[in-house]
Amino acid sequence: MPNYFHLRFTVEGIPELHRVLGMTYRKVENFKVPLSKAASFILSDVQNNFDTEGALTGGWQPLSAGTVAGRIRAGFGAGPILQRTGALRKSFYSLVNEKQALVTSRSPYFAYHQSRMPRTKIPRRVMLILTENTKQNIVEVFHKFLAFK
């Protein structure tokens, strides 16, 4: 009789990935190895999203003319989006222990841009997303990890 392993990832409190892996395995207490790999996949997607200005999420809304003019006056250039100083892009990190992985940002701006809340000034520009490819890679990592336990 197979045991069942539940894998759940949440973005902004909304379950983005919930899979049940049915397989025979011994009791596992430490999931740090597959969780670290999962966090790496997600951080890679974040960096890819910055490289492509949100292509993973359908593209970020362009900067307003006023924002571009202000950036140029301040000596930062017209783009890329969300990368005036590079601090936001560099702020992403993961915390992994035996039971969970957290991927987030140290930047106070991240939560506002990522949020689904209504807005009046700055458009939503999602940086952290679970792509279908990443979801499949994460499930595969856990499958392989549990198959050898």
In angstroms, the CA 35 to CA 39 distance is 6
Segment among 28-32, 54-58, 106-110 with least mean pLDDT: 28-32
* Dihedral angle over CA of 111, 116, 122, 126, nearest 10: 70
pLDDT for position 121: 83
pLDDT at 50: 97
Question: In the chain, what are the domain boundaries?
Answer: 30-147
Per-residue pLDDT band at 12 (split at 50, 70, 90): low
At 93, list the tokens: 């990190």
Q: Is 17 exposed, middle or buried (0-12, 13-18, 19+ CB in 10 A)?
A: middle
**Structure confidence by residue, pLDDT tens digits, 109-144:** 898 889 888 888 889 999 998 888 998 999 899 888
* pLDDT score recorded for residue 1: 38
- For residue range 47-81, list pLDDT tens digits in order: 999 999 999 999 999 999 999 999 999 999 999 99
Q: Which residues of 110-124 are buried (b: 16+ CB within 10 A; e: fewer)?
A: beebbeeeeeeeeeb
Residues 6+ apart with CB under 8 A from 37: 138, 141
